[in-house]
Amino acid sequence: MGSDSDLPRLEKGLALLAELDIPFEARVLSAHRTPGPLVEFVSAAEASGAQVFICAAGGAAHLAGVVAAHTDKPVLGIPMDNPPLGGLDALLATVQMPGGVPVATFGVGSGGPANAALFAARLLALGDAELAGRLAAWRADQADAVAAKDARLQERLGS
């Protein structure tokens, strides 16, 4: 993440990774303030077996782009909804990458971190049958939760 102020908004995504038993490392690294350590981290993470990078940044939001410039692994970008532009600046900086430097960009707001974590899980599950099973079970649990909410609503409305 580009700043520790992003952590509270990223916690749902981190919790999903943990729930799905996906090992991860979370760091505060800035594309602008700590470019050297950022590049060193990407190299070390790849050497340690990292398969996907999830980057969250607000404002100029060049974190995902810098990571994508230094790896051939998938890079998932989460634009953070910081003031004064509510994340529009971060969204545009993350999604408008030049050809040849791809970043998969997720939504601004609370859904972005969760969707990035789930997308990373789907990528990793392509080569991991056990993870694919955990992901399928998680999705089934989500469907069951929605069905239970609908049943409560129908009961409340007398339908």
Q: Which of 37, 28, 89, 32 is nearest to 58 (CA)?
A: 89
pLDDT at 26: 98
User: What is the crossing angle of helices 111-125 and 7-19, to 10°?
Assistant: 30
75 and 141 fall within a common domain: no
How high is the mean pLDDT in each 10-residue block of the chain (159 residues)?
96 98 98 98 98 98 98 98 95 97 96 98 99 98 98 95
Count of structural domains within the chain: 2
Q: Are 58 and 34 in contact (CB under 8 A)?
A: no
Q: Are 53 and 42 in contact (CB under 8 A)?
A: yes
CA 105 to chain centre: 9
77 and 98 fall within a common domain: yes
Residue 96: give its domain's CATH number: 3.40.50.1970
107 and 37 fall within a common domain: yes
Domain boundaries, position 144: 129-159
92 and 154 fall within a common domain: no
114 and 40 fall within a common domain: yes
Q: Are 48 and 81 in contact (CB under 8 A)?
A: no
Q: Which of 51, 40, 31 is nearest to 94 (CA)?
A: 31
118 and 143 fall within a common domain: no
142 and 89 fall within a common domain: no
115 and 44 fall within a common domain: yes
121 and 133 fall within a common domain: no
42 and 113 fall within a common domain: yes
Q: Concatenate the DSSP letters of all residues of 54-69 into one string.
A: EEEE-TT--HHHHHHH
Which residue, chain included where needed, has tokens 């599950």? Answer: 125
Give the burial class of 73: count Cβ atoms within 10 A of its Cβ; 0-12 exposed, 13-18 middle, 19 or more buried.
Answer: middle
92 and 74 fall within a common domain: yes
118 and 152 fall within a common domain: no
Tell me which DSSP letter residue 98 carries: P
